Amino acid sequence: MTDRIDRLRITRIESAIAMRRAHGSGTIAATVGRVIVRIDTSDGLTGLGEAAPWAPFGNTADTTAAALDGPLRAVLTGADPSRIAALALAMDHALLGHPEAKSAAEMALWDIAGRRSGLPVHALLGGAVRETIPLSFSIADPEFDADLDRARAFAAEGVRLFKVKTGFAGEAEDLRRLDRLRAAVPEAELRADFNQGLAPHAAMRVCRALDGLGLGFIEQPVPRGQEAALAALAAALATPVMADESVYSATEMLACARGAWADCVSIKLAKAGGLLAARAADAVAEAAGLPTYGGTLWEGGIALAAAAHLIAASPNMSLGCEFYMPRYVLARDVTAEPFPYAGGAVRVPAGPGLGVTLDAQALAAETVAERG
């Protein structure tokens, strides 16, 4: 077995930019650019990874594919794919930033390790502490009546977490939406996400208006870089304050804990740069008593599976999960398996590796550029 591992090498890295029109209306309808990564090994295995760069993070599908095609390919080609931690460090040394590209590459390495061992990724991370993860559904459609209909439908299926995107329609409208949603799904926990939308000087007044609504948390009310204002809100409000864009890395999580910026934190693979970095950030949060939750941005089923494995194996990631694209927005995904959702929860994949397979026909239909 040792000799076999010693001979294992990465032989090929391919990336494809897949474009897909997301279903929905208003701000939900968008053309989403995703980068699908395939890493082949000398023993015939293929690992899958995925990234969906988002403009606020400073990257695009083109720049992410370029990062994978250039410096990251140079680091990975010919390397032993089982040395995931060493390769993650090598990618960081080879290229500054680009966490989405690094996350996609590392995701594929974990997929290879699981496929080789016959184990799901969560088993390689120490084993699952949960087999299902409560799904949080985001209310983000400017046509609020449409979102109310979706919320009622999801609540009927068992969803008990709903997060309302706030701050873009004015304070009165935010309160009206939250009141109407509470009336529509009284059994659910409601959360608010400002997406950095409040000016620091106004944030206290606006958030105090929400403080008596019994929300699960108020997420990232002020912009990244305004952590003093974030900490002031966390100290003043009865409602928990969640940090999202303010915390990307374990180093920033430590600063969050020391500065009491928030009561809980959102961890996403695309922000952290991979499963290892996300776990490091979560370990700091756990030590500081800060519960976390995870999810994806505009990625599809490959990244969703990776995030589900991470959450399943992380006791501190106890606040549910948030997956935007599959099931409700994405018309068709590039994975052969359907979104693993039932009864208001995401079921953690149980197959080897990430537990998903590529639908080559679906990928070909969406691919606008392929590199290899």
Give pLDDT tens digits for 229-270.
Answer: 999 999 999 999 999 999 999 999 999 999 999 999 999 999
The pLDDT of residue 295 is 85
In a domain, 353, yes or no: no
> Same structural domain for residues 143 and 281?
yes
> Same structural domain for residues 60 and 34?
yes
Distance CA 149, CA 141 (A): 11
Task: Compute CA 186 distance to the chain's CA centroid, rounded to the nearest angstrom.
Answer: 27
CATH number of the structural domain spanning residue 76? 3.30.390.10
pLDDT at 309 over 50: yes
- Segment 100-125, tens digit of pLDDT: 999 999 999 999 999 999 999 999 99
> Same structural domain for residues 259 and 329?
yes
In a domain, 270, yes or no: yes
> Same structural domain for residues 142 and 225?
yes
pLDDT at 347 over 70: yes
Identify any residues that bridge with 39 across adjacent strands, giving them in sequence order.
13, 47
pLDDT at 306 over 80: yes
> Same structural domain for residues 201 and 239?
yes
Residue-range definition of the domain harbouring residue 328: 123-347
In a domain, 328, yes or no: yes
pLDDT at 296 over 70: yes
In a domain, 142, yes or no: yes
Higher-confidence residue of 119 and 60: namely 119
> Same structural domain for residues 60 and 163?
no
- Segment 78-87, tens digit of pLDDT: 999 999 999 9
The pLDDT of residue 5 is 53
Higher-confidence residue of 7 and 345: namely 345
Are 289 and 329 in contact by the 8 Å Cβ rule? The answer is no
In a domain, 23, yes or no: yes
Confidence of residue 25 (pLDDT cuts 50, 70, 90): very low
Q: How many domains does the chain have?
A: 2
> Same structural domain for residues 103 and 137?
no
> Same structural domain for residues 42 and 74?
yes
**What average pLDDT does the chain have?**
91
In a domain, 352, yes or no: no
> Same structural domain for residues 90 and 231?
no
* Residue whose C-alpha is closest to residue 294's, from 305, 280, 308, 284: 308
| Encoded tokens for 99 | 């966490």
Tell me if the pTM is above 0.85. yes
> Same structural domain for residues 143 and 96?
no
> Same structural domain for residues 51 and 93?
yes
Residue 108: other Cβ atoms inside 10 A: 28
CATH number of the structural domain spanning residue 232? 3.20.20.120
In a domain, 290, yes or no: yes
CA distances from 284 to 27, 89, 194, 272 (A): 35, 19, 25, 13
> Same structural domain for residues 150 and 97?
no
| Mean pLDDT, residues 285-303 taken together | 92
The pLDDT of residue 370 is 64
The pLDDT of residue 24 is 42
In a domain, 336, yes or no: yes
